[in-house]
Amino acid sequence: MLYQMALINSGFTFDEPNELTTPLEKLIRVGFGVDRDEPVVDLEVEVDEEPEIETETLSETADNHIGDEL
């Protein structure tokens, strides 16, 4: 894995990225206390669209506050 990381740091790319990601993924799983061969479960997450927030432009804000300083 160190050799593969050195290749990436040197600018090389992999024809088979799984050669690096699979062992790295197993290492991370062990660090989190998960069985290294436990299958990955895809989660579905619903994301609500946030309403647009109206904002003043910088020039509108400056125009509104010009008389405040006098």
Residue-level pLDDT at 31: 87
Q: Which has the higher per-residue pLDDT, 68 or 1?
A: 1
Cβ contact 42:58 at 8 Å: no
Q: Which pLDDT does position 60 carry in this prediction?
A: 59
Q: What is the pLDDT of residues 9-55, one digit of tens each?
A: 899 888 888 888 888 888 888 888 888 788 878 888 888 887 776 66
pLDDT surpassing 70 at residue 65:
no
